[in-house]
Structure 1
């Protein structure tokens, strides 16, 4: 892996880690989220946490 690729993978892994942590926080505290007046269930945050967490883990392993 070249140096430029390593920087991209590290940045991507960091972004996915932050997103995963934010989704986990939202799910744990039950913070309400509405998009265009439609309430988003907390279960969606758990799914987003698993997906973002998986991508973050993949990125950290790849670098």
Structure 2
């Protein structure tokens, strides 16, 4: 990988790691989330955590 891309990939991996951890935390504690008055089910946070975690792992592996 070109050195110029390494910073971008690292930054992306950090962001996706934080998002995955935040989604997993939200799902684990069952924190309520509403968007436009609609309650978002906890299952969506588990899905988002797995998806973001996969992208984070991909970024860390690519570095």
Counterpart-to-counterpart distance in 1, 2:20 and 2:50: 7
Counterpart-to-counterpart distance in 2, 1:35 and 1:27: 16
Cross-structure match for 1:3 = 3
User: What TM-score, normalized to structure 1?
Assistant: 0.98
1:24-63 deviation line (CA, Å, top 9, x unaligned):
0000000000000000000000000000000000000000
Unaligned segments of structure 1, at least 5 residues: none
User: What TM-score, normalized to structure 2?
Assistant: 0.98
Give the paired residue count: 63
SS at match of 2:32: coil
Unaligned segments of structure 2, at least 5 residues: none
